[in-house]
Each structure stands twice: as C-alpha cells, then as structure tokens.
Amino acid sequence: MARFSSFHILFFMFITGGVAVSATVFTLKNSCPYTVWPGTFAGKGSTLGEGGFQLDPGASVQLTLTNEPGWSGRFWGRTGCNFDSSGHGNCATGDCGNSLKCTVTGATPSTLAEFTIQGDSGKDFYDLSLVDGYNVKMGIQPEGGSGDCKYTGCVADLNADCPDQLRVMDPNNGGNVVACKSACAAFNTDEFCCKGAHSTPQTCSATDYSRKLKNACPTAYSYAYDDASSTFTCAGANYLITFCP
C-alpha cells in the first residue's frame, strides 16, 4: 500500500471572538468526460466529504478542514460505479467496501492524492502516488501559500500503456483496461513491495516497472522510497485536486 507519506494543507486565519482558527480548503474538480466518484479517507483526524460522493463531468466540490493540525488523509477517484438510492453498490476501480461513503481506504489499483497537514506548526506535505497503481489521471495544484509550492500530477494515460501483466480489465465495459496494477500488487514479491530483505531505502530501489511509471509521470511516487522527487511541501495554501487535468 502507498504510505501516508505526505499530506499538506493551507491556512486561512479567521478571528472569531479573539481566537485564531486555521483552515484548508480542498477543491475536487472533475475535468474527465465521465463521472468520477471521489473517495476520501483520513489516517488521522476528520473524514472529509462524508467519505465519498458523486462528481459529474465539469463539477467541483469544496471540502474544508478547520483547525486540525496533524491531519493526514487521501483522496482518490472511483470509476465505473453503480450505487442505489441508499448508497450501496460497487465500482470498477477504487471501491471502498461497496458503499458511496467510504469508511475504509479504497481498493487498489488507484491513483492517490495524499496530504499531511501540519497547520501553524510548520510545513505541510503532499504527493501524488502511483505506489498502489493507477486508474485515473490526477493533479494537485497548491493555491496561494508560501515555500516550494509546486504542481504535481500524472496526466499520462497509463491504462493505455499498461504492461499486459498489470492490466485490470472490466468485463462490464467491453473488456477495456480500466486500471493498471502496481508490480507489488501483481507479483507480491519482496523486491517489488519493499518488504522483507528489501524493506529499507538502501535495499529497495526502482524496478523496470516503476521506472516506466516515473518516465510517464516524473513528479509522482512510483515506488515506496521514491521520496526525493515526489514529496512536496507548502505552507498556508489551499489545494485544487483535479481528475483528468
């Protein structure tokens, strides 16, 4: 699984009754030509957006995190979903327990936007991760803020260029490739999963599979210890998370 390596957040300072309150706004925007059902999950702190919702093409939703320094969480896009009026159903990719509102992290493979929010205590961290595989194009754009606040994302269509061994096919969608597994998920070896004898940065290095991801999406996490070129920091920013940027 991708580590909750980095999560970042911006601050608005509101003064209410003499008390300073910090907040970060995440805007999730769907620029795909199809519906995406974002999933949200907090490793620490409040779950935003009640865990998940439907986001039609061209639509956007703002989720506000208020006064929770130390918050960490992730956002991902579910595709090919079918939910009934009570929110029960399933998705072709990114499923989270057959429910519209996720209470667990999503199934792999899925592209992940990950954040750690430090609040007033220091820099926040964010990354776009392919460690758990890929299902939809995504981008993270800091808005405002200070420091080295850079865009990161993966705009390549990795499903179209996925190796045969890693392809996830959807029989309900004409047998099309709807996601691309990580090498860890496909082969479950210590080398590809950075475990056992390969559990440290010194013993787990890039593979042919992760290099293929890195070449396509240079700023995204391609394997567990791909920190140097894939973790970003920013202070006092909001974040625009776009599906199909």
Distance CA 81, CA 130 (A): 21
**All domains of the chain in start order, with CATH:** 12-243 (2.60.110.10)
| Kind of pairing between the strands at 37-44 and 72-78 | antiparallel
Residue closest to 223 by CA, chosen among 197, 186, 184, 189: 184
**Residue range 66-102, pLDDT digits in tens:** 988 899 999 999 999 999 999 999 999 999 999 999 9
pLDDT of residue 18: 42
Whether 124 and 239 have beta carbons less than 8 Å apart is answered as: no
Give the pTM. Answer: 0.89
**Residue range 123-147, pLDDT digits in tens:** 889 999 999 999 999 999 999 989 9
- Rg of the chain taking only CA atoms, in angstroms: 18
Encoded amino acid at 33, one letter: P
